[in-house]
Structure 1
Amino acid sequence: MFRRINSGFLHNRGHLYSFIICLIGLGLFVIYSEDSFLHFSSSAWGWITAMAGAAVILTVFTFQLPPQGNGLSLDSSVYLACIFIFGLSFTLMVLLLSSLVLLFLEWGSKVGKHINNFAIYCIMIASASFIFTALGGVQGPLLSSRLEAYVSAMAVYFILNTLLIGFYYYVVFHKNLYNTLKGMLTDTILAYACTLVLSLVLTILLYHNHMVGLGLFLCLSILISYSFKRLFSMYRDIEERINRDPRTGLFTHSYFEQALEEEMSSSKISGTALSLAMIDIDDFKKYNDHFGHLKGDGLIVFLAELLKRETENTNIIVSRYGGEEFTLLMPGYDAAAARNFMESLRRTLNHSRFEGSEIFPQGCLAFSAGIAAYQPDVHFKSELVDHADQALYYAKKQGKNLVHTYGSQSLLEQDIDFSQDVRDIEQQLNLFMYKDLETFKHSKRVFRYAMDISELLNLDTLSKRQFTLGALIHDIGKLEIPWGILNKKDKLSLEEWEMVKWHVTWGKEMALTNEKFKDLAPYIELHHERYDGKGYPYGFKGDEIPRLCRMLTIIDSFDAMTTERPYQPTKSFKEAVVELRACAGSQFDPELTELFIRYIEKREVCGSEAAI
């Protein structure tokens, strides 16, 4: 069978799924093999033993298929040939005997895995046999006039195989069912076809050449298995060369990108910690200019060897990100554990001797490092990389030879940085003064709302900074929209509206060009997403949208409704509140909507009392 379930009974949902499969499979076995032990002759038992032995041998010679390394054995060709020649009850006896032998050979493995695999085989064999008989298939020699019966039986066998295993991954690991099934078929279609043809070959050999035919088939199948093993070995060797940086032997940037995406997905499903560290050799250019590029390359290799040694007994994935920059992807490490590891690594490098290290300002080899811990509301790998990159930038700015964790500045440092960031963003917004004054005023109002809401939500300093600055800069992409469209008095055409919608993407790209404002990109890009998934640009839904981005959507919409605009009537505060409630659950997060409404109503009451 293809892709045996090696994970056994891992999760609660997996328990239930496996239990149902076992009930169905074992039930079919009992129904169709009833009294078979008494009906078979000694000659038939000899054939059962021989066919079971062949199935066991082919299972032992299981090979892997590129690119994912999925396991495949050719034992299914034995079971299909048994269906075509000997019938269902005979085939089930072959399956039972081969399963018992494999259980004995793999005694240390879980019994549940063997029972589950046995049940899946029973379902596939019984279904294929039923289709074969229903379409006029006759047990015995291969009949070309009944070719559709053979093809249909084999198709049902492998469709069930794919569905049963694919649905297991869907239930247990919550993987997309369509993509899982598509990946399985893409990876193994050639091997499926090979097995189908071999089952027909074995049918012919068994009927006409008996044991000699079975022996020839085994020789052929073992050679094919060996060839596939060699192919997979060659594939892995080539893959290893592609994924490794030739100078340092570390993983490449492209491999890091792939691994980061996989680890983020795994962390999101399992809830385990994940951190990313980025390091950069301090004053590398000075060393390179002084000693030349060959010596500089030697320093890069020296650090790479140190990284390999220090991470040898861990599951940390070390990659060369580019030039003198490296990344350490750290599954299972939270921010504190990652910082402790990186500090130890930094001290180790400081005390490592290398020719010419005395020219460095620190008087020793040193690197700066930035650490970012994965959070569930980080949707894109680029966000986590940006967080680590910003932390690295901050470490450099503080004097180098430091490890900085994203968001861990002192309160005073954060306040100073926040004030400077507000001034920097306001300088950018001043460009709206001549192009669209209303957008400038709108951004300032949304910023003030965000400041109040951040206090109401008791946000930590980092979240407050991101939320309020994100509110201030959220419409920066409108600078790219032509003046005529931005200030049009009439209703926008469909083409013009599509251009306006691009402002979130343009704004994100503008933010990503500045190291300090990369972490504001989600607020710019996602403030037009809707709670029901009908927003843009991605159509994120519910909790897929970061919580503070959902709040920014409410603030942005409220200010747009209560401010005079050329393309829509202005609403009073009360009318806007009614509109917010009407759209809660569709456009807006219901919980955050009520929180904002309570804030705005309290603000109105306080304003009225002050006026009196």
Structure 2
Amino acid sequence: MNALIPIKKPVNLYLSIVIATGVSLAGAILFYNYDLVFPWVVFVLFVGTIVLLDFYTILMPPKGNSLSMDSPVYIGCLFLYGLQASLQVLLIASILFLILERRAVWWKHLFNFSNYSLMLIGSFLIFKQLGGELGIVSLNNLVPYVVATSVYFMINVLIIGGYFLITLSKGIMNELRGVIREAASGYLITLVLSLILCFLIKVNVFMGLLLFTTMGFLLSMAFKQYFNLYQHMANKANRDYLTGLYNHGYFKELLDEKVNEAIQLDEPISMAILDLDDFKKFNDTFGHLEGDNLLKHVGELIQRDCRDEDVVARYGGEEFVILMPDTNESLAFQRLNALRKKVNDTFYKGVDVLPYGCLSFSGGVYEYKEGTSADFLSKTDKAMYIAKRKGKNMIRRYEDEEHYDNGVVLEDKMQIAKQHVNIFLTKDLMTYRHSNRVFDYVYEFGKRLELSEKEMDTLVLGSIIHDIGKVEVPRELLTKTGKLALEEWEMMKKHVTWGKDWVETIEGFEETIPLVELHHERFDGGGYPYGLKGYSIPKLARVLCIVDSFDAMTTERPYQPTKSFEEAIEELRRCSGTQFDPDLVEPFVEMIQEMYMTKLKVL
């Protein structure tokens, strides 16, 4: 019997009661008559048989549950030699297990001893109550045998059931039914084996125990080979042939199991779905064979970045899914965003044909709260598609879209702003995606700055269209690789003025003009277009300057290498008071560290 792990104070109390009861009753019986009931040689043979059989258990597919053959030995000893004999064997065997299995904590061994003691005491009392006679193997004893063995397992079911009653808030009946089903098959096997052992021992105790141990060993070896074969075939059926990750069908099976487990343990569980950006373009350019190799590569990156307890699967095509037990949504968001950055920074031959010039994916995260596992999957999937629509190479939460649409800005203005930014979809995808990421950062940062509702509306609208003037910049300049020439840089700088002229033509967007025109002004007066200094630069433009620069530093661009989040934070701090408002740098850094950077200590 496997010991249970206490996870809450009521469980500790329950296990303490079981241990106290079992130890007290067994101790009283053993103390009443501590002399060996049978010869030393027979006693040693019984103990040795139990120890050997406990190490050679029978593995049962499909889940790998193990059936130990020690119960037939205990029950056979009980029927032939009585309660004291079986408890004596149990006591010495438990002490040996305590010595041999030192990795297990002491209370687990004590619980196992108590559990077996209560099962043996209960079954012996019923056996005697029904007129069973010790040491006699006959049809007259058949009913006491069957009923006593039933009680043996009923006590075990009650003890395990008590554990589930305390620890599970939901799904207790399903768990109990599972325990009873497993106990029923174990009961039948144990009953038959215990009767076989009794017959063998009655013929010759030494030869009987030797044959029974040999049979147990051979069954263990045979079932182990069968189980390994089953596992091999199951793995082939459950794995994606290309990446080696779990496939779609098996992931959905595991999803139900992991969600139920999280509910029972009252632990958070989050899911992430990610979709490779522009994979079709890579596939069409280099062919399906290279496309398959890219999928393998990405699958390996994801698997290496995940914990052992995470469930990683290829969900379909270029989509992957990660199920993260004991992980809340904030941590899941941090982990997926860190993975996104790691994928961006990983070179792969041929990705220069993609719009970003690097590998990227769009991801959605969601923490299970209620409902079915299908709802859980659907909401995570929607979050991923929000990231796709917002410009790709970003991570979104399911709630985000709802927040954006529920009064943070007027929906009609948002739609107008998005229509203007959509121009970049055909001219410069980088600017389009940059604008959407800046919007994400600004939205989160703005909530921490205690802005008025009007200021918040202006900030998020301005963040969407802050680079709209780049529509006037020639395409070859926007996509040029390497450092810009002086005259090219002067033309690029004009995008803020062109942007101001553009926004002036949009009715209702007048208040966003300072953000569009002044987000490249520097706190020390060295910016453009006017060289404004310090607090003469509007506050919202100072906010946007930090966010815009951070995303520019951490995202692959043709004319500059990308920085890690840590390097970008170092740069923000280095330029605090010169390029950036020193009052705003640290609050922004704290927001990035809290929401977007993985905390190693919790992984």
Structure 2 residue aligned with 1:245, among 240, 244, 252?
240
d(CA) in 2 for partners of 1:416, 1:17: 51
User: The residue matched to 1:4 in structure 2 has which SS?
Assistant: coil
1:343–1:27 Cα change, 3 Å: closer
d(CA) in 2 for partners of 1:174, 1:373: 19
After superposition, the C-alpha distances for 1:21-76 in whole angstroms (9 at most, x for unaligned) are 223322332443343224x46x5343223212212221222343223333321111
Q: Highest Rg: 1 or 2?
A: 2
Hey, what does 2:322 align to over in structure 1? 328
Hey, what does 2:390 align to over in structure 1? 398
d(CA) in 1 for partners of 2:389, 2:133: 80
Matching of residue 283 in structure 1 with residue 283 in structure 2: no
d(CA) in 1 for partners of 2:330, 2:354: 29
User: Contact between 1:170 and 1:176, CA under 8 Å: does it hold in 2?
Assistant: no
Deviation at 1:420, TM superposition (A): 6.9
User: Contact between 2:273 and 2:320, CA under 8 Å: does it hold in 1?
Assistant: yes
d(CA) in 2 for partners of 1:344, 1:15: 39
Matching of residue 349 in structure 1 with residue 343 in structure 2: yes
d(CA) in 2 for partners of 1:36, 1:93: 10
User: The residue matched to 2:399 in structure 1 has which SS?
Assistant: coil
Structure 2 residue aligned with 1:207, among 199, 202, 220?
202
1:64–1:163 Cα change, 3 Å: farther
User: The residue matched to 2:396 in structure 1 has which SS?
Assistant: strand
Percentage identity across aligned positions?
35
User: The residue matched to 2:347 in structure 1 has which SS?
Assistant: coil
Deviation at 1:174, TM superposition (A): 4.2
Hey, what does 2:256 align to over in structure 1? 261
Instruction: Name the aligned partner's letter for residue 30 of structure 2.
Output: S
Instruction: Name the aligned partner's letter for residue 158 of structure 2.
Output: L
User: The residue matched to 1:33 in structure 2 has which SS?
Assistant: helix
User: Contact between 2:239 and 2:246, CA under 8 Å: does it hold in 1?
Assistant: yes
TM-score (norm 1): 0.63
Which residues in structure 2 correspond to 1:82-101 (within 5 Å)?
A: 82-101=77-96
Which residues in structure 2 correspond to 1:283-322 (within 5 Å)?
A: 283-311=278-306, 313=307, 315-322=309-316
Structure 1 residue aligned with 2:137, among 137, 142, 147?
142
Structure 2 residue aligned with 1:13, among 4, 10, 23?
10
User: The residue matched to 1:407 in structure 2 has which SS?
Assistant: helix
User: The residue matched to 2:400 in structure 1 has which SS?
Assistant: coil
d(CA) in 2 for partners of 1:28, 1:177: 30
User: The residue matched to 1:362 in structure 2 has which SS?
Assistant: coil
Hey, what does 1:368 align to over in structure 2? 362
User: Contact between 1:244 and 1:250, CA under 8 Å: does it hold in 2?
Assistant: yes
Deviation at 1:226, TM superposition (A): 2.2
Structure 2 residue aligned with 1:57, among 52, 61, 69?
52
Which residues in structure 2 correspond to 1:166-181 (within 5 Å)?
A: 166-174=161-169, 176-181=171-176
Matching of residue 36 in structure 1 with residue 28 in structure 2: no
1:359–1:93 Cα change, 3 Å: same
After superposition, the C-alpha distances for 1:111-131 in whole angstroms (9 at most, x for unaligned) are 211121111111111111122
User: Contact between 2:386 and 2:401, CA under 8 Å: does it hold in 1?
Assistant: no
List gaps (5 residues or longer) in structure 2: 416-452, 454-603
After superposition, the C-alpha distances for 1:379-417 in whole angstroms (9 at most, x for unaligned) are 222222222222212211121122222223597665488
Instruction: Name the aligned partner's letter for residue 302 of structure 2.
Output: L
1:174–1:323 Cα change, 3 Å: same
1:21–1:175 Cα change, 3 Å: farther
Structure 1 residue aligned with 2:70, among 54, 75, 78?
75
User: Contact between 2:240 and 2:247, CA under 8 Å: does it hold in 1?
Assistant: yes
1:314–1:22 Cα change, 3 Å: closer
1:295–1:344 Cα change, 3 Å: same
User: Contact between 1:273 and 1:331, CA under 8 Å: does it hold in 2?
Assistant: yes
d(CA) in 1 for partners of 2:70, 2:403: 66
Structure 1 residue aligned with 2:218, among 214, 223, 226?
223
Matching of residue 380 in structure 1 with residue 372 in structure 2: yes
TM-score (norm 2): 0.64
1:417–1:146 Cα change, 3 Å: farther
User: Contact between 2:238 and 2:246, CA under 8 Å: does it hold in 1?
Assistant: yes
User: The residue matched to 2:293 in structure 1 has which SS?
Assistant: helix
Hey, what does 2:492 align to over in structure 1? none
Hey, what does 1:486 align to over in structure 2? none
After superposition, the C-alpha distances for 1:207-227 in whole angstroms (9 at most, x for unaligned) are 111212211111111111222
1:122–1:306 Cα change, 3 Å: same
Which residues in structure 2 correspond to 1:484-523 (within 5 Å)?
A: none
After superposition, the C-alpha distances for 1:489-514 in whole angstroms (9 at most, x for unaligned) are xxxxxxxxxxxxxxxxxxxxxxxxxx
Which residues in structure 2 correspond to 1:440-451 (within 5 Å)?
A: none
User: Contact between 1:370 and 1:405, CA under 8 Å: does it hold in 2?
Assistant: yes
Hey, what does 1:23 align to over in structure 2? 20
User: The residue matched to 2:137 in structure 1 has which SS?
Assistant: coil
1:195–1:412 Cα change, 3 Å: closer
Hey, what does 1:499 align to over in structure 2? none
The count of aligned residue pairs is 416
Deviation at 1:86, TM superposition (A): 0.8
User: Contact between 1:78 and 1:202, CA under 8 Å: does it hold in 2?
Assistant: yes
Instruction: Name the aligned partner's letter for residue 388 of structure 1.
Output: T
d(CA) in 2 for partners of 1:146, 1:418: 84
d(CA) in 2 for partners of 1:97, 1:351: 60
User: The residue matched to 1:354 in structure 2 has which SS?
Assistant: coil
Deviation at 1:321, TM superposition (A): 0.8
Deviation at 1:331, TM superposition (A): 2.4
User: The residue matched to 2:258 in structure 1 has which SS?
Assistant: helix
Matching of residue 358 in structure 1 with residue 355 in structure 2: no
1:223–1:410 Cα change, 3 Å: closer
User: Contact between 1:371 and 1:405, CA under 8 Å: does it hold in 2?
Assistant: yes
